[in-house]
Amino acid sequence: MNCDEWFEKLYQILDADLSNKAVWKDLQDHMKGCQPCWDRFEFEKRIKARLKDSCGKESCSETIRARIKALFKK
């Protein structure tokens, strides 16, 4: 497996979207032996984590919370 082939499947490893164990192993093996691809993978992992942290942490206001709770009383 070369770096281009690996790169095409990068997100399938990142998102655990692979059912074929042989392909999974090939991807892992390539990454372990290839520092640039390993670094790339780590970067993608971090950016995914940063997105979750920055975009996922919001709280809705008490006003809207009360408005929604009131819906359930109808």
In the bound complex, what is the minimum distance in angstroms from residue 12's beta carbon to other proteins?
8
CA-based nearest residue to 31, from 58, 5, 59? 5
CA 41, CA 31: separation in Å to the nearest integer? 8
4 is a site residue for other proteins (CB under 8 A): no
Give me 34's structure tokens: 């290839």
CA 7, CA 37: separation in Å to the nearest integer? 8
Q: What x-and-dash track marks residues 37-66 binding other proteins by CB under 8 A?
A: --xx-xxx-xxx-xxxxxxxxxxxx-xxx-
Please pick, from the candidates 15, 27, 28, 35, the single residue that binds other proteins as defined by CB under 8 A. 15
Q: Which stretches of the chain bind other proteins, using CB under 8 A?
A: 11-12, 15-17, 39-40, 42-44, 46-48, 50-61, 63-65, 67-69, 71-72, 74
